[in-house]
Amino acid sequence: MWGFVILLTLAIELGTIIGRIGFGSWKQRHKGKKVGHMHHMYVGIFICFFYFYITLDIVLIIGLSLFFSDAIHHFIVLPLWVKRTEFP
């Protein structure tokens, strides 16, 4: 199971990096506007809670992958790339 989590985490993070290159920073595009923003870490935690009700491994794999991808993005990739975490 952890192998799938790692592979999906890397795939999600790659997609996040490509999206950031293509579309830029969400905060920069909506600076000064009151636009909601949801980190996919929170979505991952929410999905992980469903694992306790729906005991399918894929639910836990998706939830953990979203969680780890956002953590890697904000605490490793962004500090190396733009010198800040952009995490509230």
**Segment 14-68, tens digit of pLDDT:** 988 888 777 766 666 556 665 556 678 888 999 999 888 888 999 999 999 999 9
Taking 70 as the threshold, does the pLDDT of residue 86 lie above it? no
What are the boundaries of each domain within the chain?
38-88
Give, in order, the Cα–Cα distances in Å from 28 to each of 18, 23, 25, 34, 73. 17, 10, 5, 12, 17
**Segment 8-19, tens digit of pLDDT:** 999 999 988 888
Among the residue ranges 40-49, 65-74, 75-84, the one predicted with the least confidence is 75-84
Any alpha helices (H) in 1-88, and if so which ranges? 2-23, 26-29, 40-50, 57-72, 78-81
pTM, two decimal places: 0.78
